[in-house]
Amino acid sequence: MQRFKKIFATDIYIVPLVAILLGFLVGAIVMIVGGYNPIEAYSALFRRVFGSPYDFGEAIREMTPLMLTGLAVAFAFRSGLFNIGADGQVIIGMTAASVIGIKFAGLPMFILVPLAVIAAGLFGGLYAGIAGYLKAKRGINEVITTIMLNWIALFLSNYIVRTFLLLPGQNRSEDIPASLSMTFLNSLFDNARLHWGTFIALGAATFFYIFLWKTKQGYEMRAVGLNPHAAEYAGMNVGRNVVKAMFISGVFAGLAGAGEVLGVFHYQSIFASSPGYGFDGIAVALLGLTHPLGVILAAILYGTLTYGSAGMSFGADVPPELIRIVIGSIIFFIAAQGIVRWVLKPFYFKRKKEKVL
């Protein structure tokens, strides 16, 4: 018990919690200025999420791709890379899962579903690996390449769907027989679109932690992320670790795409613009301080706020866009931890110093 208290009394947990509270406070101030009741708005938000089994299940569904894209961005961060291309990798994962799910529909489901999921992760990883290879072999900044690869993924997936998978007369693919839906749980949550992707995300977070902190390869990746020159001097292959880190990051994002087309929609749309999963993943990774447990908790918070924002609109007549101000404020305070520490100084750090003395 004492060890548990000691862990959660450290600054690394106190500062993010206070940053979240300050974010909600900023949102409340903005609502008051706009003539809205923040208590009523936040109450409506949480009622939307926890008010019925269906809404609670849908909130979990909202959190699932955020967990995986957040893990994708966080894994790259830990390896010294900034993967802005998670959105494109999600789209590639969607497309790979759709192609396998539709073109090999004759296979038994116990083969088809895992095959589609593996294809989504593999192609997402290979697509991210392009940026890793260009970084390792040509020194091209991964921020530039991943941004460009996002657009290539968008138009490439639209071409594949329109040419090979299109449902006649519709702006989407044919229905995908392969499914990640959990029918035994869906009935308990009033047919909410829960799917196995949530458990895949939790498994990915476990792999993230074990691989980076319990294996030699993970140690090398973290060393390369902290100081590539020192890692190279120590005999580590920096280029290989860069490519490997981007590949694993892309696998996480690709799995998020598989969850969406196989577990939620059961078809792939022709996108008019980027779906935005990867960019939300950047926010989740920052909120979670690029730690797998933090990313899962951040995805839960982000998903709750995003799904519950509709409740603010209908239940309290508050524009749902205001929730973006709350999320943005939380990210700001986590990034600017000096402000949070300044707020905490009279209450926490002073008392802590007195205990030391």
Q: Which residue has the higher pLDDT, 187 or 166?
A: 166
Q: What is the mean pLDDT of residues 227-242?
A: 93
Q: What is the pLDDT of residue 1?
A: 46
Position 129 pLDDT exceeds 80: yes
Report the distance separating Cα 120 and Cα 126, nearest Å.
10
Q: Flag whether the pTM goes above 0.85.
A: yes
Alpha helices (H) in the chain, listed in sequence order: 2-8, 11-33, 38-50, 53-78, 86-103, 109-138, 142-160, 183-186, 197-214, 216-226, 228-233, 238-259, 277-287, 292-316, 322-335, 337-344, 350-356
Report if residue 60 sits inside a domain: no
pLDDT of residue 272: 86
Total number of domains constituting the chain: 1
**Any idea what the CATH number is for the domain that residue 196 is in?**
1.10.3470
69 inside domain: yes
Taking only the tens place, the pLDDT of each residue in 21-57 is: 888 999 999 889 988 888 988 898 888 899 899 999 9
Average pLDDT, the chain: 89
| Whether the predicted pLDDT of 80 surpasses 60 | yes
**Is 26 a domain residue?**
no
Q: Which residue has the higher pLDDT, 206 or 189?
A: 206
Residue 170 is predicted with a pLDDT of 92
pLDDT of 197 strictly over 80: yes
pLDDT of residue 282: 93
What mean pLDDT do residues 161-169 have? 94
- Residue 324 within a domain: no
Average pLDDT over residues 132-146: 94
**Mean pLDDT for the stretch of residues 89-117:** 96
**pLDDT at site 12:** 64
Lowest mean pLDDT segment, chosen from 126-135, 171-180, 255-264, 344-353: 344-353
Q: List Cα–Cα distances, 173 to 71, 114, 160, 316, 344, in angstroms.
A: 28, 20, 10, 38, 53
- How far apart CA 308 and CA 45 sit, in angstroms, is 4
Supply the pLDDT for residue 4. 44
- Whether residue 166 is contained in a domain is answered as yes
Residue 310 has a pLDDT of: 81
Q: Are 206 and 296 in contact (CB under 8 A)?
A: no
Classify residue 257: in a domain, yes or no: yes
For residue 336, pLDDT beyond 90? no
* Closest to 90 (Cα-Cα) out of 242, 247, 250, 266: 250
Residue 7: pLDDT above 50? no
Asked whether residue 5 carries a pLDDT value surpassing 70, the answer given is no
Q: Does position 67 have pLDDT exceeding 90, yes or no? A: yes
- Asked whether residue 115 is assigned to any structural domain, the reply reads yes
Domain membership of residue 318 (yes or no) is: no
The residue whose two tokens read 């494109």 is 88
Backbone angles phi, psi at 193, to 5 degrees: -85, 55
Domain of 265?
65-312
